[in-house]
Structure 1
């Protein structure tokens, strides 16, 4: 074994989050670590790599017992980590991010070899299918492209073990294929991977073994070729969760939202579609197609150069998010940290921000109503939290996502835009979110869902609009929905708009 962890225990503020957990990794193995949000996966990996200290247990790396005090110690031992939340410095260039802490200089002068680092950066990223300028500011790139830069930075360390925590959450299918090809090639060379993901399709196509944690305890390890989807789900949640998607029962009503020739220079052009009350309208396309940009323009984060928006048949002027909210729009961004949450605020305060008029009187918040709001929303979405005062940043990624969605569960929300609503969310929580979406649609809410997971798009949507390189390609009816047909239009097939 290249890694052997036994009897690991860890508590925070008296709350035991890991209880007698075991985990092992062989050389040249891709080993999935699975469990619901809050099961302890990330905590276990942070103990392995020196971010947290363990309360009890032993860790062996390459046959030697270790107890790293700092992540740099683990890195020197050949352990690299790609965290779920991006560790990108947006104001630095791509090359500066890639070589941060490992800059190339001319001897002892301290003068940077910028030309060499830029060239090497572009070569490394090209191998991963990403063609960007090394001198480009990283913050100007999409979340998916930033994720590839994170992956490249880990691969540059020549690590023996690479821990990947939800590495494909922001990637397109094409980028995932490129990444998997790289992982398999590194595996062939003897590199081992610990792979944390909620995407079952990825696990079963890529990994050799699966270890499951449930409520901070070891639930078991299975070889991928000796198990199946339902068995792993039952290990994770301790119960059967039924069908993957809700039974389709939606009956759309009248047109709630209509977009006519919406354009924004350099991002998308002449986008036109309709969304009816009581339907889930999916938007699909490859990264860079303009999906998120359209969503952010609808919600007022960006301003359109031309085109019109109609809500319930009346022209709407949306120049900022406040105007969008006044028109009854809600928005769940793909980037929950910067556009969905105030991470230093408590869970209760985050939930209250979009419901202030419901819980206040004469500009004063009524504590009883605020507490009732918190209790109702947390219960409705099964948010795992230590209490209303817990900081949002200390929640697991999946529970943060639930809080972002919960913010918009209001009678005032008539149009709900969901950009990657289940990114980083476990299989049980996904089912809960799907059910919430379905119930909202049944109540007459018009839902726009952007998702990179084609099974999710097909399983939930009434209709699906497909974008390619900023152009609106087609709208597919439910009985037309297949992965092949969506990808045909997403890659530019039949270069005309079909409504």
Structure 2
């Protein structure tokens, strides 16, 4: 019988930044232990240490009362520690079958002679343990997201895992799929398997988990049985001291409505959203992982087609593609800038000019000199640090890539901007540049929808704040009404926990 897995006084720094400052965590067999914390609290780093991806600077990890070394993912697997990642596609091979993915370990470290009948039989046995009835010959590329989650869980069991880390496993699941996953977890719990459950969704935490640990700024600030705490206490520990609004915030909001959504259907969340965006206004749309921010932004821009129309400058419009949205003055800066915001192999000059090629075309020919001149002008305006306009965008820093992703829309022109996690992966100085740029756009009468999970940023840029939870706008605050605590309460589904409790 495996006893508890204990992490004691774990410390980790990256350069001068202390990410973990002496964190302790105990995972017991047959227990689901929730690990909570705002962005940057240290959750991911702690779990990467436990799964062998990072090495700890100091502290101990013990199993069955003896100190163990987890210096690599192979060590973690040997000790019975498995991680089911948030994005299953990064851990599965789409061109292989379900059986091949479930029994991948046999291919890597099993006998040289491979019995495919045995592998299929083993895969079926472990799929049965997670309640998944699909053909073992089905390709992963043909599986749904919920099926992929369970396939990863089956693979963990095939390696004789005793402790399984689940990183935001319900972020993209429907309620029925979530209920099914919870049923599987509860069944495995009875077999003595211990879980670490990372989630921002408090209703799920209080429904499923036996114990809660909260991290804040690299410290464990709360560890308690779920039954002895409540949503308000958890949220308070997650945020610590309440933030105070900047006193000198200047709003540029006018009466004119630039964009209005009325029961606008978002295909990938299955929910409808309603809001208005005024001239010169920055509307912050807050949401944690799995809230549906990106899905909502993409639908508003026409990247995921909705059957519903939007009111743009008072005229009803329905997008057939993003091209329609751009033609009507919308610009979209996506979260994944390297995949969707810029073309890394293209020059900085060409990235800035792509949406505006028609401006530089005469009689079917592009004017290279005009593009060069315009690109150089915007590089200077945006403060992009690059050796020349011809440098490949992929060689720029994250902050300069983001400026390029924004700059191409400024060159194009437009009056409605959608920013999805615009400060993701950039340094503090670049963040300040992005905030300054957004304030400038608002002062020029542009309307900005600012989608973010970095809730503190809302107090820097937003005039008004909407909160998304499970794809729905569950709360709305004026700048004067908003507090970090209120936003976090709505963003974690705290109101649902309160309703259940009462």
- TM-score range with shorter-chain normalisation? 0.5 to 0.7
- Among candidates 105, 117, 131, match of residue 101 of structure 1: 105
In the aligned structure 2, how far is the partner of 1:135 from the partner of 1:332? 40
Find the aligned partners of 2:130 and 2:34 in 1 and give their Cα distance: 27
Specify the SS of the correspondent of 1:153.
Answer: helix
Q: Does 1:387 align with 2:430?
A: no
Show the counterpart of 1:204.
Answer: 206
**In structure 2, do the counterparts of structure 1 residues 85 and 338 end up closer, same or farther at CA, with 3 Å as the change threshold?**
farther
Q: Return the offset for 1:81.
A: 0.9
TM-fit CA distance, 1:88? 3.4
1:31 aligns with 2:29: no
Counterpart in 2 of 1:195? 197
| Alpha-carbon distance, 1:338 to partner | 8.1
Aligned counterpart in structure 2 of residue 16 of structure 1, from 12, 15, 18: 18
- Residue in 2 that maps onto 1:167: 169
Q: Which residue of 1 aligns with 2:374?
A: 362
In structure 2, C-alpha distance between the alignment counterparts of 1:133 and 1:216, rounded to whole Å: 44
- Correspondence for 2:409: none
Q: TM-score, normalised by structure 2?
A: 0.61
- SS across alignment from 1:363: helix
TM-superposed CA distance for 1:26, in Å, is 2.3
The structure-2 alpha-carbon separation of the partners of 1:162 and 1:35, relative to structure 1 and needing over 3 Å to count, comes to same
2:464 aligned partner:
439
- Alpha-carbon contact 1:18-1:216 (below 8 Å) kept: yes
Superposed displacement of residue 254, structure 1 = 6.6
Deviation at 1:437, TM superposition (A): 7.4
- For residue 232 of structure 1, the aligned residue among 228, 231, 234 is 234
Corresponding residue SS for 1:69: coil
Residues 308 and 318, structure 2, Cα contact 8 Å, conserved in 1: no
Is residue 36–residue 214 contact of structure 1 (8 Å, CA) maintained in 2? yes
What does residue 91 of structure 2 align with?
A: 88
Paired residues of 1:451 and 1:457 also in contact (CA < 8 A) = yes
Q: Is the 8 A contact 2:130 2:153 kept in 1?
A: no
C-alpha distance in structure 1 between counterparts of 2:118 and 2:337, whole Å: 31
Aligned pair 1:459/2:499, yes or no? no
1: CA distance between counterparts of 2:211 and 2:154? 24
Residues 229-281 of structure 1 show CA distances to partners (whole Å, capped at 9, x for unaligned) of: 22222222212479xxxxxxx9998794689999x9xx99xx9999755699x
Specify the SS of the correspondent of 2:22: strand
Using a 3 Å threshold, how does the CA distance of structure 1 residues 314 and 139 change in structure 2: closer, same or farther?
farther
C-alpha contact (below 8 Å) 1:122/1:133 kept by paired residues: no
The answer to whether 1:116 aligns with 2:120 is yes
Aligned to 1:327: 328
Pick which of 106-115 and 87-96 moved more.
Answer: 106-115
> Structure 1 residues 431, 56: CA separation in 2 closer, same or farther (over 3 Å shift)?
closer
Residue aligning to 2:76 = 74
User: Per the alignment, in what secondary structure is the counterpart of residue 159 of structure 2?
Assistant: coil
Unaligned runs of at least 5 residues, structure 2: 245-252, 357-371, 386-397, 404-419, 478-494, 497-502
* 8 Å CA contact 2:259, 2:310 repeated in 1: no
Q: Is the 8 A contact 1:330 1:416 kept in 2?
A: no
Is 2:222 the partner of 1:182?
A: no
Which ranges of structure 1 fall in alignment gaps of 5 or more residues? Answer: 243-249, 391-398, 423-428, 442-448, 462-481, 484-499
Q: CA deviation at 1:149?
A: 3.3
**1:354 offset after TM fit, Å?**
11
Report if aligned partners of 2:120, 2:136 keep a CA contact under 8 Å in 1: no
1:97 deviates by 3.0
Q: 1: CA distance between counterparts of 2:436 and 2:180? A: 35
Cα RMSD of the aligned pairs, angstroms, is 5.7
SS state at 2:185 partner: helix
CA deviation digits over 1:275-304, x for unaligned, max 9? 755699x9xxxx9xxx99997576454679
Alignment of 1:123-142 (within 5 A): 123-124=127-128, 127-128=131-132, 134-139=136-141, 141=143
**Is the alpha carbon distance of 1:413 and 1:154 closer, same or farther for their aligned partners in structure 2, counting shifts above 3 Å?**
farther
Distance 1:388 1:121, change over 3 A: farther
Task: State whether residues 336 and 404 of structure 1, in contact with CA within 8 Å, keep that contact through their aligned partners in structure 2.
Answer: no
1:53-64 alignment runs, 5 A limit: 53-64=55-66
Q: Deviation of residue 363 (structure 1)?
A: 1.0
Name the counterpart of 2:48. 46
